[in-house]
Amino acid sequence: MTDASALDDPARSGSRLARWRGVVGLAVRRILGRLTSDLPNRTALTVSIVAITVALLVVVTGLSFGLATESTVYGGNVDYWVVPESGTTQTTVFSAESAQLGGVHAKQTEMQEVAGVTSSTPVLVELVRMRGEESPEPEFVLAVGVVPSENPTAVSGVSTAALSPGDPYYANGSYDGDFTGEVVLSPGAAEALQASENDSLSVLGLSSGRTDRQFSVTAVNGTGSGAPQGEVPIAVFHLSELQTLTGADEGDLADQFLVRTNDPSAKSQIEEAYPGASVVARSGLATRNLFESDVPLAVSAAALVIALVVSTLFLATTMALEIDADRHRYAVLASIGFATRTRLALVALSTLTVAVVGGVFGCLLGGVGIVVLNRLVLAQMGVESLALFPPLLPAYAMLVAVVVGVAATPYPLVVAWRTNSVTEVLQ
């Protein structure tokens, strides 16, 4: 242990910095010593509570980042999203009412010619009414129009493997090519329409002058998109065929563009292809959307408030109880030469150390929680990486832990000040 007189006498310690370094070392050693001996105890319980609240903060914040990222209909293989500048990168359901991109088939040809782009597709999202052979009434289904590639991918959890590659009905803008009549349903859509593979479906056109069209279910697969009320029914079409049903063929419209590439330099060329649109990289989408989407921001803000309140109150109370139980120890420190200022500093540093140690364990526990959550979601819903763990998340969690430590310090200091009489304690 650092000599008490050396701590309080600058002349003997050599410098004020050395004196306070000794106080910090003493506070840290005391807390770590209590964590490794005489378990369970109040210090270990306090660290556990702080760790649990920080871990919940990490998981919920990671989930908020994940919710913000899940703003397009593609899975995690897409590297860039192209959206209208006046639109939003919100969830798929809301994309149906956002600003749209025009001339998307011609733009897709340009995208495919960009060096480094392996695949791309425009995406149209609309609500359509569909009726199965066995369904008594038409049902609203979230229709997603894409241009399938040779390499199947997942769109809103539904594989495009059962759709013919390309978009033959577009026919260079004439919309009179070969009509495939293919549609892939999510399990939720198949249940709502009472349809299965090879069944026929009637799709009721939503624009004036459009007649009902017949489609054949080529597959039922995937999980669709989860929602609090249940699974969203999703039907995946060829883009031009959905455009014809909804009137989006006038202008060749789509809601967003999805581009897969391994070349970071491709972004500038993609921006040139759509000068009036916003190109967002997958790695930067979470941060952007966290502040554009109210739901993820509200969830993360609520988690922050709960973590601060619960951790601060518990830490302040238990540290005050700890100081009251250790009155004799602090009295002994006073009797051997520790000044009041030094003892109060020791109390503050001990409180902050408990918060920091709890924050470290909370970050580790939160990381494990995110891994477990993602595995459970993958097993139950088929959605990968619902919660994210960006590099700044641990730093954010540790900052919260430090704030908790600082906010919880005044109450233990008051308790320590009131038990400052050496003679009273040692009698």
Task: Identify the residue with better confidence: 34 or 7.
Answer: 34
* SS3 assignment, position 236: strand
Distance CA 4, CA 224 (A): 67
Supply 326's token pair: 């250790």
Q: Are 405 and 354 in contact (CB under 8 A)?
A: yes
Specify the amino acid at residue 45.
L
Q: Provide the pLDDT confidence category of residue 259 given band limits of 50, 70 and 90.
A: confident
* SS3 assignment, position 262: coil
Distance CA 120, CA 118 (A): 7
Q: Provide the pLDDT confidence category of residue 263 given band limits of 50, 70 and 90.
A: confident
Asked if the model's pLDDT at residue 304 lies above 50, the reply is yes
Tens of pLDDT, residue by residue over 186-222, are 988 998 899 999 999 998 766 544 557 889 999 998 7
Q: Provide the pLDDT confidence category of residue 333 given band limits of 50, 70 and 90.
A: low
- Where in the chain are the domains? 4-67+296-426, 80-284
Lowest mean pLDDT across 41-50, 73-82, 118-127: 73-82
Asked if the model's pLDDT at residue 413 lies above 80, the reply is yes
Return the bridge partners of 277, or none: 84
Asked if the model's pLDDT at residue 421 lies above 60, the reply is no
Task: Identify the residue with better confidence: 11 or 145.
Answer: 145
Tens of pLDDT, residue by residue over 48-86, are 889 999 999 999 998 887 766 554 444 545 567 787 765
Give the residue ranges of DSSP H helices in 263-293.
266-273, 282-292
Tens of pLDDT, residue by residue over 348-393, are 888 888 899 999 999 999 999 999 988 887 676 555 567 888 888 9
Share of the chain above pLDDT 90, in %: 24
Asked if the model's pLDDT at residue 310 lies above 70, the reply is yes
Tens of pLDDT, residue by residue over 126-166, are 889 898 888 778 888 999 999 998 878 777 778 888 999 99
Distance CA 408, CA 398 (A): 15
Share of the chain above pLDDT 70, in %: 69
Q: Are 7 and 30 in contact (CB under 8 A)?
A: no
